[in-house]
Copies of this chain bind each other. A is one copy, B any other.
Amino acid sequence: MSLYTIGQASEEVDLTPYTLRYYEKEGLLPDVTKDSAGRRKYHDDDLQRIGFIKCLKGTGMSLKQIKEYGDLYEQGKAKFKERNAMLEEHREKILQEIKTQKKYLKMVEAKIEMKI
């Protein structure tokens, strides 16, 4: 299959239809096509894009920043540098976050071992 209703897409990407419409309204998903009855039709590349949005969001990027990234993406290779700079900066942020999580993990483990 390569076309999905909003219900099917929402199952596929594990987001509610509400959220998918919200993301679209916020400009994160441009060009979602509609059928003759006005119902959204998601393509595989839409799902891929949503997958990457989930990745950025899951690593702490705000929807506003994700939109900025998406807008650069829309402008193709003209904005390749800016886009990649954003990703590289974000990569550093993720690395830092993993470090912090590991530190916090140790704190929690120490507390568990403390037994008081």
Q: Is A13 an interface residue (CB 8 A)?
A: no
Q: Which residues of B contact A105 (CB under 8 A)?
A: 59, 91, 94-95, 98
Mark out the residues of chain A between 62 and 113 whose CB falls within 8 Å of any chain B CB in the assembled complex. Answer: 77, 80, 84, 87-88, 90-91, 94-95, 97-98, 100-102, 104-105, 107-109, 111-112
How many copies of the chain does the oligomer comprise? 2
B52 touches A100 (CB 8 A): no
With A58-B100, A104-B94 as contacts: A111 and B52 at CB distance below 8 Å:
yes
Q: Which A positions have Cβ atoms within 8 angstroms of B? A: 52, 55-56, 58-59, 77, 80, 84, 87-88, 90-91, 94-95, 97-98, 100-102, 104-105, 107-109, 111-112, 115-116
